[in-house]
Amino acid sequence: MTKKYLENSHFSLLRVIRQKALFFKADPDYGTRVAKGLGLDIKEVERLANMTKEERAKATEK
Question: 49-59: per-residue pLDDT in tens?
Answer: 999 999 988 88
The confidence score (pLDDT) of residue 16 equals: 82
The pTM for the full model equals: 0.72
Q: Domain spans of the chain?
A: 3-59
Alpha-carbon distance of 28 to 19, in angstroms, equals: 13
pLDDT in tens, 2-45: 556 555 655 577 888 888 899 999 999 998 998 899 888 899 99
The sign of the dihedral angle between the CA atoms of 5, 10, 16, 18 is: positive
Band of pLDDT at residue 60, cut at 50, 70 and 90: confident
Alpha-carbon dihedral 35, 60, 56, 46, rounded to 10 degrees: 30
Q: Give burial (CB, 10 Å; 0-12/13-18/19+) of 24.
A: buried
The confidence score (pLDDT) of residue 61 equals: 79
Count other Cβ atoms within 10 Å, centred on residue 42.
14
